[in-house]
């Protein structure tokens, strides 16, 4: 490797070797075959390295971390020992951010589900209470009108008849069915 570096065909770093001259590819068919087979992975690894370098340059800005499909395509490299330290750190930070975002999304879904259940339960309770209150109001009105009709029966049969009609209408409204009107007793006046 040192001979290739001395000839200027490759650049050797502490963790990587980069081809700097295409003559090496023309003269070494086996190397060219390996590179062709692994081109996608090499390109992804180079992109990861560039992204990690940018992330470090930007003081580890969370906005520069990998997300989504890009992270999914390289997630399996996280435990590779040949990955450069900055690249591995960038990848671990991206995975941690992804896990945090997933946990937040799950929490939001749970909170929304609970709020939906609470709202539904409250709506059912409110409708039930409204129906109960309406029924109680109609019953009270019906009783009041019946009492008025009975009181008026002795003094004014015409007014008693009108009150009986109102009572009958109130009962039909309350029950949703027709009801026979209360017939006032015919007591002599």
> In this prediction, what percent of the chain has a pLDDT beyond 90?
41
Let me know if residue 63 belongs to a domain: yes
In angstroms, the Cα distances linking 122 to 18, 112, 118, 144 are 66, 15, 6, 32
Question: Tell me: the pLDDT tens digits for 72-102?
Answer: 989 888 888 888 889 999 999 999 999 999 9
Let me know if residue 18 belongs to a domain: no
Residue with tokens 């690894």: 45
Question: Tell me: the pLDDT tens digits for 120-155?
Answer: 999 999 999 999 999 999 888 888 877 777 776 556
Question: Tell me: the pLDDT tens digits for 70-79?
Answer: 999 898 888 8
Q: Number of structural domains, the chain?
A: 1
Strands (E), the chain: 10-12, 17-19
What's the whole-model pTM score? 0.51
Let me know if residue 32 belongs to a domain: no
- Could you list the residue range(s) of the whole structural domain that residue 71 is in? 38-175
Let me know if residue 119 belongs to a domain: yes
What pLDDT does residue 151 have? 73
Let me know if residue 97 belongs to a domain: yes
Find the mean pLDDT for residues 15-29: 77
């Amino acid at each position: 490797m040192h001979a290739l570096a001395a000839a200027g065909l490759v650049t050797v770093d502490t963790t990587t070797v980069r081809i700097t001259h295409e003559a090496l590819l023309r003269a070494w068919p086996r190397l060219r075959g390996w590179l062709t087979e692994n081109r996608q992975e090499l390109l992804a690894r180079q992109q990861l390295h560039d992204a990690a370098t940018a992330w470090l340059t930007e003081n580890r800005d969370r906005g520069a971390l990998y997300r989504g499909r890009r992270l999914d395509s390289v997630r399996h490299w996280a435990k590779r020992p040949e990955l450069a330290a900055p690249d591995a750190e960038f990848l671990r930070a991206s995975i941690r951010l992804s896990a945090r975002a997933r946990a937040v999304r799950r929490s939001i879904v749970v909170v929304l589900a609970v709020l939906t259940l609470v709202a539904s339960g409250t709506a059912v309770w409110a409708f039930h209470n409204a129906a109960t209150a309406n029924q109680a109001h109609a019953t009270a009105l019906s009783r009041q009108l019946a009492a008025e009709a009975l009181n008026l029966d002795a003094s004014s049969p015409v007014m008693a008849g009108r009150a009986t009609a109102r009572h009958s209408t109130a009962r039909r409204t309350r029950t949703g069915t027709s009801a026979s009107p209360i017939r006032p007793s015919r007591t002599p006046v």
